[in-house]
Amino acid sequence: MRVGVFDSGAGGLTVAKSLIENPLFDEIIYYGDTARVPYGTKDSNTIIRYSLEAIEFFNNFDIDLLITACNTVSAYALTTMRQKATYPVYGVIEPGIWALNSKINSLDRSILIIATRATINSKRYQLELSQLGYKNIESIQTGMLVPIVEEGILEGRVLDEMLDYYFKDINKIPDAIILGCTHFPLIEDTISKYFNNQPILIHSGEAIVDFLINKGYHKLNSKPSIKIFASDNVVALREIASYWLNYI
Ligand code: DGL
């Protein structure tokens, strides 16, 4: 089976990595809209328009299903994408909530959601969690972490200061943190350390793998091939991919 993975840029490679480490498909077609990243600062109409253009891109590849690795796209464009696509389209928010729910044993636990401005403003995570009955939900827009990760800063003083800037007003260490942005798994160790390694971290890539297995997709014995495409500077994206994925 051939799966498409769509992201606003390089960040979705964290989801591709999970799909390589836990192979469910023979082939991954990755498309990053590197010409127009970030999506997390755009308004909903723009995010939907760009996402529909991605459907047109994937129409050239005869994919069996599409995963929108991007949380921002998952928050705004999933319904419209599903109406246009001729294959199933999965986002990462539902799997993220599902993963959290399977790891947390009480609705009283405190949940911190960190994501782009657009994802936080969509309230998708917050609403779905409150509908499930979670009472202690906090959300913080941490969009500046995106360019920091893109810059390859995954630990050290600059990142620590940025985490402090975003998290300094948190009084109690959360029980779980939803990494509601593709880039954040790359700094999950630093985030975890900031909170004394106490919270459970929810990672979109791991969540979608478990979610798809639960839907009946089976683990394969061999790793998938991956082809990387981008709307700008595909050479740079392929370099990032070979470094991050340590695979191609
Ligand atoms: N891929 C985006 C997300 O997961 C982060 C980068 C962006 O703002 O486009 O929300």
Residue 105 pLDDT level (bands cut at 50, 70, 90): confident
CB 146 within 8 A of CB 118: no
Whether residue 72 lies in the annotated active site:
no
Q: What is the CATH number of the domain that holds 128?
A: 3.40.50.1860
Q: Is the pTM of this model over 0.85?
A: yes
Percent helix / strand / coil, the chain, rounded to 5? 45, 20, 35
- Check 24, 28, 70, 202 and give the catalytic one: 70
Give yes or no: residues 145 and 121 share one domain: yes
Q: Say how many domains are in the chain.
A: 2
| Residue 246, pLDDT score | 80
DSSP letter at 185?
A: G
Tokens of 79: 């319904």
Residue 91 pLDDT level (bands cut at 50, 70, 90): very high
Give yes or no: residues 102 and 192 share one domain: yes
Distance (angstroms) between ligand 1 centre and the Cα of 46 equals 14
Give yes or no: residues 197 and 97 share one domain: yes
- Residue 40 in contact with ligand 1 by CB distance below 6 A: yes
Distance (angstroms) between ligand 1 centre and the Cα of 173 equals 25
CB 208 within 8 A of CB 217: no
Closest ligand 1 atom to residue 37 Cα is 9
Does residue 34 have a pLDDT over 90? Answer: yes
Does residue 187 have a pLDDT over 80? Answer: yes
- Residue 22 in contact with ligand 1 by CB distance below 6 A: no
Distance (angstroms) between ligand 1 centre and the Cα of 74 equals 10
Distance (angstroms) between ligand 1 centre and the Cα of 131 equals 25
Segments forming the whole domain that contains residue 196: 93-204
Give yes or no: residues 16 and 107 share one domain: no
Mean of per-residue pLDDT scores for the chain: 96
- Check 145, 181, 230, 240 and give the catalytic one: 181
Whether residue 181 lies in the annotated active site:
yes
CA dist 211 and 214 (Å) reads 5
Give yes or no: residues 23 and 100 share one domain: no
Render pLDDT for 65-78 as a digit per residue (tens, 0 to 9).
999 999 999 999 99
DSSP code string of 2-70: EEEEEESSSTTHHHHHHHHHS---SEEEEEE-TTT---TTS-HHHHHHHHHHHHHHHTTTT-SEEEE--
The closest residue, in CA terms, to atom 1 on ligand 1 is 70
> What's the angle, vertex CA 189, arms to CA 66 and CA 159, rounded to 5?
100
Give yes or no: residues 169 and 81 share one domain: no
